Structure formats: structure tokens, C-alpha cells
A and B are shown apart, each in its own frame.
Chain A
Amino acid sequence: MSSVNTAHSVVEPSRTSKRIAATIVIAYAVITMIPLVWIVLTSFKSPPDSISYPPKIVFQPTLEGYCNLFTTRTRQTSEYITSLGAPTSTCDEITRSRNMVIAGPSNYWPRFQNSLVIAFGSTFLAVSLGTLAAYGFSRFKVPLAEDLLFFILSTRMMPPIAVAIPIYLMYRELGLSDTALGMILLYTAVNVSLAVWLLKGFIDEIPREYEEAAMIDGYTRMQAFFKVVLPQATTGIAATAIFCLIFAWNEYAFAVLLTSGAAQTAPPFIPTIIGEGGQDWPAVAAGTTIFVVPILVFTILLRKQLLRGITFGAVRK
């Protein structure tokens, strides 16, 4: 802020107005967190507790939701269960108390792994291609640069379902349907537009003089790019990478239309988790909690760059 904004400044809000503002904002923040807190609480409830009325705020916490999330179970007679030896794990014990035994692992972990592979793979590619293109646009006179940049941005604005129709046909021809490679390429294409726009802003901020100096010292342009520009752009590259990661991590429309098994990511999988007699809400909540925690961490890491990321680098403060 400018130097005139001191304690005596006429524009400094009064103490009362600050207090009122704080009360309303904090109230909003608390209300907005209720749904999330509720999901985390539900993940530690037993299935009967999760659907009780009135909703239970105080309850006996259990890991049943997490056990159900990671396993598939079959119902057995109590004679069969007593004939088994002592339970080998907490999950074993919880499952047996419901007259069931663990039949095997569920699909959640493979889907979660797919999410990791596809998100990191596409982020790496998008940021690499994006950094190169952003440097090109930032430092060289490119013919039709404005139009190319608009073209790049407009690809991100396309409705995903409209894009998915021809992609579906193309991937079927190329054998890329339901493969991690297909999803990585697709997410890279969507993210590269964000990466170019964001990184161009970051690279524009690095003074050209640094490279010019390096080139006088005998570096080639290429060496100057790798040894001078890239280290200077680290913060921007990291912030861009996190934005790409979040997009790929959260994406649903392409994932549900183009993957069905081998390459399916977590978002289309979580809603399909069902237990006996309908949706197993504690397991769904557990899957959601595990899936959302990385995003919370990233939000905190990114808080200073958020504004820039969501406006394609247009607003910088």
C-alpha cells in the first residue's frame, strides 16, 4: 500500500466498522466450512450413525468408513466367522462385528493411483511445454502473437462434453480409450493454455537484462534460458504446476466419458461406492476426505498466487 496509509490516515476504517466486518466475515467462513467439516465427521461414523435423525454431532468414532473404502466384503454365517482365528487387523475386527469378512481390496487405491499418475504426468508435460512457449511469447517477436495467445486461451473455454465427442472417436481409433497416456495427453492439452498464460506473466517480470548480461558473458540464448531465466522463474513455475495439478486432480467430465476401468481416476469412482442397501455414506465420505486433503494443502501453499492463477495471470496483486 502507499505511504499515506498510516494509522492517522483518513481512509483507515474505524474500529467499529472493523469489528462489524470481522464478525460477518468470520460468520460466513464458519458457515461455509460446515459442509466440509460434516463430510470429515461422517467419514468417522458407523453407517447407522451416518443416517440417523436428528444428525449426530456427538458419536462413537470408528474407522469403519475407511475400512469399507479400501476393501470389499462378503456376508458370512456367525459359525463361519467364529471358526476363523483371531482378527489380524482393526479392519478385520470391525468387518467381523458386522457378520462379514474381508474378501479383498476395493478399487479405490488403484483409482487413486491413476489420479496421481495422470495428474503428475499431465502437469509435468503442460508445465514443460508451457514454459517453453511462454518464454517464446515473452522474449521474441512472434508473428500473430496476440491471435495465437487468444487461440491458446480459447481452447480452455470449450465445453468439455463438446470436445469429448470427437476425442472419444479419435481415441477409439488410436487405441487410447481408457489409457493413462490418453488422459495425460488430454489434460496436458487443457492445461497448457493456462500454463502459457500464467508463465508468460511470470517471465515478463524477469528483466531481459539478466539474459543479455549472460549472453555477453558468452552464454548462448539456450544456455541463458536454462541457467538464468528458469531459476528466476521457479516460483511462477511451481505455482503454475500446482494449478495444473489441481485441475487434473479434480477433472470429472472427460474422465467419466473416456475411462471406464484401467485408467479411471478417483472423481468418477467415488460416487459409485455402494454398500449393502444403497450408498455407503461413511465410505464415500472417507474417500472424499482422502481425496480432498491434498487440495487443502495446496490451497494454503498457493494462497498468495491464487488470484493470478484463477484469472489466467491478468490480475496480479
Chain B
Amino acid sequence: MPKFRKETQVTSVTDTSSSLLGKAANATPAPIASRIRGISDRSMAWLFITPAIVLLLAINIFPLIWAIYLSFTNFRANRPNAPIEGVGLSNYSRVLNDPNIWQAMQTTAHFVFWTILLQTLIGFSLAYLIDRKFRGHAFWTTVILVPMMLSPAVVGNFWRFLYQPQIGLFNYIVSFITGVPPSSFEMLGSVQLSPWAIIIVDTWMWTPYVMLICLAGLRSIPDYIYEAAEVDRASLWRQFWSITLPMALPFIMLAVLFRGIENFKMFDMVTLLTGGGPGSTTEVASITLKREAFESWRTGRASAFAIILFVAVFGLANIYVKALNKVKQR
């Protein structure tokens, strides 16, 4: 135990108390001393951490390794008794040469780019306005936050109702504002409009998320910096570009990265809204993966595609954690 004590990063206060503890333990008879110490800190640390790690190994890592194995085979989950043959890297080369998969990646990129752009612009503007601290801003902030707490599947499903041609509220409002007849366009049925239909819903749902993080960024800027700028007679425009934006930037980056990762793996909302259609216009990567794995039952190939997506997300997650730590240091 004393050896372990030396290793821990202890503050001066902990230091005195631990040495006090040690003295108390040495001065008292053995049974009481062991009661003070209890089990050693090292074994307790493992006792506390192991259950969570074991669960993650069993439910996340073991299946992942299995998927890596399957990605090198011709296994099909709907024929579990067929002999499994190794096929080397051919699943990977097929995935990377499959035009459908590249189409899906392009659809995903379009979706990710526009949702992030719109959410950042609207979210930051809203945060900037809320930071004017008008009366009742806390209440209205809570109202704005509601969409992001909902189930994406349920959201996708009820927006399908709002987007109905003829009867849907969305078409009605658009025609009310622009004068275009409501039956002249179908948000979910048209090749041109359906990619925007999913972008609109995602923006409606997740702008509050970006707003909330930007708001924290704006509030982290100390007032004295603005006061100094006032003293130097810097214009509001200048203050915004030289103080507000640069200082809120790490927070904006955090929001952008998180939305990027989440939307890269988007599945539920789009599935319920368009199911990837019309045709495969809105078929994002996760939907293609689901079709490969659970409709075509090409488990080996789907696993290879899944591993490729993993690696991509893992890379993004790595950057994300670095960004998190940067924000934390503030």
C-alpha cells in the first residue's frame, strides 16, 4: 500500500491525511488497522472498473472481432449451416469497387455537409441572439431544445405525415407562402427534393444541439475582454470577428465534429422518412449496409463494409476526443 501511495498524484492535503492514516494504522492493533485500510486501493480500482470493461468487451469488442473474421469469409447469416470459406480480401475489394456503395457514400457526404452547414449557421446565430440575455431567454431556450430530445425514428415517422403531398402541413405552408400549388411537388417522392427533405428534418431536430454548445462557448468569453475592446473603441463588427468568433471556435468545432459523426452513421430518421427512396436517392451508408446485411444477407461483404465504416468513425472519434480535451482545458 505505501508503494501505491507514492504513485498516486496526491494533493498536499491528501498527503497529510494519508500519512496520518498510515500512522494511525501503524499505531493501532492489526485488526483495526486492516479495517482502516480495507482492501487495497489497487484491487479496489480494478473491482470498480472491471464490470464496465467486461460488459463492453462482451457486447462491443467480441462481436467486432467476430465481424472482422466474417469480413474475410463468404458467410451468409440466412444459411448458417453452409460451409464457411475464407475469401481473403475480396469482400473489401468488392465493397470499394461497388458503384452503389460509392453512391451511398456520396449521398451521405451531401447530407452531412448541408446539415452541418445549416445547423452551424442557424445554431450559432440563435446562440448569439440568446446571449443578448433578453427577458425570458431561459424559457425560450428550453422550448427550442425540445426537438433534439425526441426519438429520431418517431420524428422521421411524423414528418412523413407533414410531408404528405395534398394533405400535409408542410406543402400547405409552402403553398401558402409561395403560392405554388400544394399538389405540384412531393418532398419525399421526388428525386430533386427528397435529399432536401431529410436535410430539413435533421436541421429542425439538431440545430438546438449546435445552439446549446455555441451558447456555452459565447458564455465562456470573459466580459473584461469586451470591455478592453470598448476602451480601444473597437467596432461591434470588429469585436465579433476578433473576439467572439475565435473564442467560441473550439466549441463550434466540437458541435460540428459530433454532428458529423452522428450524421455519418445516420439510419433511423432517414429510414422512417424515405426508407432510402425514391429509388436510392436518399440511401445513406447505414441504409445500404442494412440492405446488404439483412435483406441480401451477404453477411461477409456487409461485415467488410461495416469495418470500413468503423475505421472512418474511429478516426473521427479520435479527433473528437482531442477536441473535447482542448475545450476542457478552457
Interface residues of A (CB under 8 A from B): 1-2, 4-5, 9-11, 13, 17-19, 21-22, 24-26, 28-29, 32-36, 38-39, 42, 51-55, 129-130, 132-133, 135-137, 139-142, 148, 150-155, 157-170, 172, 185-186, 188-189, 192-193, 196, 208-209, 212-213, 215-216, 218, 220-223, 246, 249-253, 256-257, 267-268, 270-271, 279, 281, 284-285, 288, 291-292, 295-296, 298-300, 303, 306-307, 310-312, 314-315, 317
Contact = CB atoms under 8 A, between A and B. Distances in A.
Given A42-B161, A165-B306, A252-B268, A189 B130 contact: no
Given A29-B140, A252-B151, A311-B213, A153 B49 contact: no
B151 A250 contact: yes
Contacts of B193: none
B169 to A, nearest CB: 5
B7 interface: yes
Contacts, number: 341
B124 to A, nearest CB: 13
Given A165-B306, A317-B219, A36 B230 contact: no
Contacts of B168: 55
Nearest to B267: A253
A54 B175 CA distance: 11
A222 B143 contact: no
Contacts of B213: 307, 310-311, 315
A124 to B, nearest CB: 13
Interface residues of B, number: 126
Contacts of B324: 311-312, 314
Interface string B280-294: 000001100110011
A286 B227 CA distance: 53
Interface string B15-30: 0011011001000000
A153 B56 CA distance: 10
A288 B154 contact: yes
Interface of B: 4, 7-9, 11, 13-14, 17-18, 20-21, 24, 35-39, 41-42, 44-49, 51-53, 55-56, 58-64, 66-67, 70, 77, 80, 126, 129-130, 132-137, 140-154, 157-159, 161-162, 164, 166-169, 172, 182, 204, 208-209, 212-213, 215-216, 219-220, 222-224, 226-227, 230, 251, 254, 258, 261, 264-265, 267-268, 271-272, 285-286, 289-290, 293-294, 299, 302-303, 306-307, 309-310, 313-314, 316-318, 320-321, 324, 327-328
B49 A136 contact: yes
B216 A158 contact: no
A161 B154 contact: no
A57 B18 CA distance: 70
25 contacts: A10-B226, A32-B144, A35-B169, A35-B204, A52-B167, A55-B169, A130-B52, A132-B47, A133-B53, A136-B45, A148-B53, A157-B317, A157-B320, A165-B302, A169-B77, A188-B55, A189-B56, A189-B59, A212-B18, A220-B38, A257-B290, A270-B154, A271-B153, A299-B146, A311-B213
Given A38-B169, A140-B42, A311-B213, A186 B59 contact: yes
Contacts of A141: 4, 7-9, 45
B36 A218 contact: yes
A53 B166 contact: yes
Nearest to B138: A303
A1 B222 CA distance: 8
A166 B67 contact: yes
A213 B14 CA distance: 10
Given A52-B167, A140-B8, A209 B14 contact: yes
B151 A220 contact: no
Question: Chain B CB within 10 Å — which of A18, A19, A249 has the most?
Answer: A18
Contacts of B164: 51
Contact of A215 (B21, B52, B265): B21
Given A150-B321, A216-B17, A315-B251, A303 B286 contact: no
A9 B303 contact: no
Contacts of A150: 318, 321
B265 A159 contact: yes
A192 B152 contact: no
B38 A162 contact: no
B7 to A, nearest CB: 5
B60 A29 contact: no
A267 B60 contact: no
Contacts of A9: 223, 227
